[in-house]
Amino acid sequence: MSLDNDAEADTLDMILRGVDPSWRAGATAYLALVSLASPDEADPLATELTYTGYARVALTKSSAWTTGGSSRTNTGLIQFGKRTDGGATQYARAAVIVDTASGPVNMAVIATIGDELPVSLNIRPQFDIGTVTVTAE
């Protein structure tokens, strides 16, 4: 599991000081697609995909992920918007779980995906059950 720097500090305060970060209480998290397989922890969304039709996908925290062990995987099909522009193919190589539907975030957790996803005209990127993995390190 990789967290951005602010989320790391918030997590330490939550565990060690009992201070809940504002982003923890929300019922929804969002999944973003990025083009780097190993996003920079300091700026994990620097390479977020930008095709026409793209939007972060809302996930219900209480039911979106498996439980148990040190890894979590998605429990349902996750579908992104269909690409409607004919620009150069973009490649999704990792996913990032964030706390906002768009724009800046307060926390980000980097997740791995099975294979890179090429996204070109009329393609709707999706992840089957169990193909997005978050692992605690």
What are the pLDDT digits (tens) for 13-40?
877 888 887 777 778 999 999 999 999 8
pTM: 0.86
Contact 50, 18 (CB under 8 A): no
**Mean per-residue pLDDT, 44-66:** 95
Q: How confident is the model at residue 1 (pLDDT cuts 50, 70, 90)?
A: very low
Residue 40, classed as helix, strand or coil, is coil
Give the start-to-end residue ranges of the domains of the chain.
2-135
Across the strands, what pairs with 110?
2, 96
Between CA 108 and CA 131 the distance in angstroms is: 19
Contact 112, 94 (CB under 8 A): yes
Token pair of 28 as six digits:
């929804």
pLDDT of amino acid 130: 93
Q: How confident is the model at residue 5 (pLDDT cuts 50, 70, 90)?
A: low
pLDDT top residue among 61 and 25: 61
pLDDT of amino acid 20: 81
